[in-house]
């Protein structure tokens, strides 16, 4: 069973730190998804409010009831919940901060998508330049961050779906990058009329 750290809990929701490699829901070849593992640990059912890709780790909201799940899904849709991420990318944007605006096909429908970025740090790694980029979602399309970074020419290291496959293979040998380097690192939520922020430390394990 996966260890699933609980970061925060109230009467409606639980915020967890989802481990990398843990799928949110079951499916083919997925034996221990979050929606089965966490209820086993807690002793009662949980309801997914939003999702993270299997290879994305970090902060995730789940609800304790269907009613609470509906409420918090609506809050996310209304942008009352702020979701921020950190990624290790191949290449460095020319501008230290900016916006990705290209549209994305989400569940078969082309939709506008908005991601704000800020470059935190960069490294020279043999023939590659890697960068630590902080990202804030303006919209919540499927695989939005991964697609936006790949389209812009700064794919996430270890992304074998949208990324640079040749670079991923070489970086695995150079610095041991084996999996997607994307973390749901910061969540800001409304609780009792105030904003509460939860943040995970981000360390990609590379020297400057």
Q: Which range scores top for mean pLDDT: 57-66, 121-130, 164-173?
A: 57-66
Residue range 83-183, CATH number: 3.30.2350.10
Percentage of residues of the chain with pLDDT beyond 70: 97
Instruction: Say whether 53 is catalytic.
Output: yes
Number of Cβ atoms within 10 Å of the Cβ of 82: 15
Nearest Cα to Cα of residue 198 among 7, 4, 3, 5: 7
Q: Which three-class secondary structure state does DSSP give residue 131?
A: strand
- Whether the CB-CB separation of 85 and 134 falls below 8 Å is answered with yes
pLDDT at residue 208, as a whole number: 37
List the beta strands (DSSP E) in 77-199: 82-90, 97-100, 104-106, 109-111, 115-125, 128-137, 182-191, 194-199
pLDDT at residue 207, as a whole number: 47
Domain spans, the chain: 6-78, 83-183
Residue 92 and residue 103: Cα distance in Å, rounded?
21
pLDDT tens digits for range 66-79: 999 999 999 999 99
Q: Which of the listed CATH numbers 3.30.70.100, 3.10.310.30, 3.40.190.80, 3.30.70.580 matches domain 6-78?
A: 3.30.70.580
pLDDT tens digits for range 185-205: 999 999 999 999 999 999 886
Mean pLDDT for all residues in the chain: 92
Q: What is the DSSP string of 59-85?
A: EEEEESSHHHHHHHHHHHHTT-SEEEE
Half-sphere exposure of 54 (CA within 13 A, CB side): 15
pLDDT at residue 2, as a whole number: 62
pLDDT at residue 206, as a whole number: 63
Residue 153 has pLDDT above 70, yes or no: yes
Which of 53, 112, 159, 160 is labelled catalytic? Answer: 53
């Amino acid at each position: 069973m996966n260890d699933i750290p609980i970061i925060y809990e109230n009467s409606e929701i639980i915020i967890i730190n989802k481990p990398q490699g843990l799928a949110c829901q079951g499916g083919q070849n997925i034996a221990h998804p979050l929606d089965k593992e966490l209820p086993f640990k807690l002793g009662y059912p949980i309801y997914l409010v939003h999702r993270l890709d299997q290879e994305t780790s970090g902060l995730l909201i789940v609800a304790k009831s269907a009613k609470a799940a509906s409420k918090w899904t609506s809050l996310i849709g209304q942008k009352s919940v702020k979701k921020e991420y950190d990624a290790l990318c191949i290449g460095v944007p020319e501008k230290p901060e900016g916006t990705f605006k290209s549209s994305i096909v989400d569940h078969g429908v082309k939709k506008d998508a908005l991601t704000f970025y800020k470059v935190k740090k960069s490294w020279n790694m043999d023939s590659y330049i890697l960068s630590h980029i902080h990202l804030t979602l303006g919209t919540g399309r499927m695989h939005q961050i991964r697609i936006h970074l790949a389209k812009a020419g700064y794919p996430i290291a270890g992304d074998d779906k949208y990324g640079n496959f040749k670079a991923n293979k070489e970086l695995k040998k150079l610095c041991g990058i084996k999996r997607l380097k994307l973390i749901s690192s910061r969540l800001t939520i409304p609780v009792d009329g105030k904003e509460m922020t939860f943040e995970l430390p981000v360390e990609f394990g590379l020297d400057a």
